[in-house]
Structure 1
């Protein structure tokens, strides 16, 4: 129940990590930094069981002086062999799954190694080098084709803009946010991922976690704009998430200092990503249909999409690999009983027996509201009441 993402090209790598800790679906807290540094050479981005990671930490501290660039990923080296022994000797628990990204830097040679670990209490530990491209760890890895979607967009971006750490990390963060929003506003709760993300970068032996102050706005349905202004920074030695519009803040702890009794959920969502379109209310058979409609002056722009649900009830989400069925710009109706409303990713209820015919006619009939009434059961949602 988290997401960690890396995008790597040779000696350069950027990371995106969330802040959420999940006790259960209804009890989630956005207050943990997944980054854990042991010294100026070895660090981890953590995922999975907090209990298991609390056991991992002292094991690493015992052997860290023996770890070097040559043996950090060695199956028989001090780090991996110690972690494997601890994991195997811990009583089995299905909840004892843990993993993450490991980073080792050597300032003498100006080299780094990025690797992935995955362990299960009572079963053992696996390690692998992180390859060039995109790697996703955590519940976010269950999103269909997530690594492929991210890699295509990041490769295209870097080809045009070069691989500069912070802009590339920002691009990666924006892409994962868009994918999660496409999955639906409930994706953050259902996957246990916070709607805010930290970014960091690695080049050679230099690693940097980026503190930020972010201000802007995003379009929401009904022609409205959601303004936001927040920061992630270190204040008097402590990491703090601060909403500068509501003047609220969350202290952020790493896995060694985090404490929470699980009785109160705390969500940090200054951008409002957990609000808006959600597919669970508009699944029609094996499909999800939705529309974006924009009215401006005398023109009406409509785009209709189709996708499929993934996951199991009650945690259904939308596959972010949308298919565009139709898109066009036409004349808006300015008077009469049906005045069009601005909507953004609004679900359409279409009886499964009518879906094939709807898909056949929609390209040519996207503005024929009288015809579409025969297919779209909630078509009145597109008009001003």
Structure 2
């Protein structure tokens, strides 16, 4: 009986993994331009981190976390998202005391959620995220949104829509919370069990319910924008003004609700409008979380960030027909004929690799024609052919696989000649 891959996971094979590498490197380069530094956190953390940081009323904590006890009886969880781990590290390593504020970080790595697998959604998925901690300036909100959009546009996506909303400060949210309770309470028995449980704990989460999204009360629910106080309204208007100054197109959607409990003020999502992308169009989500650092045991520190699934990004690229400029070929393939030539090819291969020339040789003792076929499969730019007779004459034959031109080169000049041609 063969062992099957776990449901909701995938193998990323050569030919596809290069696309992942290109996407990740593009995102990292843009983060460097915006002066965000990489952080790497553990794949598993204390379960309490996510219960407190993500929120015990969220689907992530209630239904989707992979939790287990270690041999010491401690409750641990595979990380379902990256923000809580980054903030835990920010607090634990006292980064709030760093002279350079705000602290601007990015991360990339696998996350885990036990949810129903579907197109573009996995139980293990790779998330790329950004966090900026230590500033209440609405300009940093605009910067974070601009960075997210820049990553998608740099990769060639065009069918994008940025949607933003304000969840307000604590006062605004409390006023909106009471309005939501009063709105839903008379008919809450018509909603699912999750919504009934959330009515008093976090009624804003009712607006994010997938089961009851078509209920008539959803369409008439009071908007958070009606309950923003002057400070929150001014903050949101500045974020919008900065985005316009940056020529970042956006739409305001008062129904936008992020799924995590720690968000306030700016919330946003980036969606794909590509035809055939699927019913779930969200590519990226994020927002401001001014209370999260304190919840995890640190000093009062504002923060904002976003995260996106690389699987979803690749699916959007495919939906738009965007091809990534992946170089799948190699520089040189060495064809050797004869025992002495084969022995010499081992040394020559090592030499050219040390010079940074991507290269390969035959390891299956194939005939000349089969070795050339292997060179074609490798998409080699050049093929070097050496036999025992050529070795005695201190020369090697080099063929340009694009033009078909061939030339004989002295062995001692071979490496420099190939380097010159490649440059």
Quickly name the TM-score band, shorter chain normalised. Answer: under 0.3
Q: Which has the higher helix share?
A: 2
TM-score (norm 1): 0.22
Give 1 or 2: higher strand fraction.
1
* Structure possessing the higher radius of gyration over alpha carbons: 2
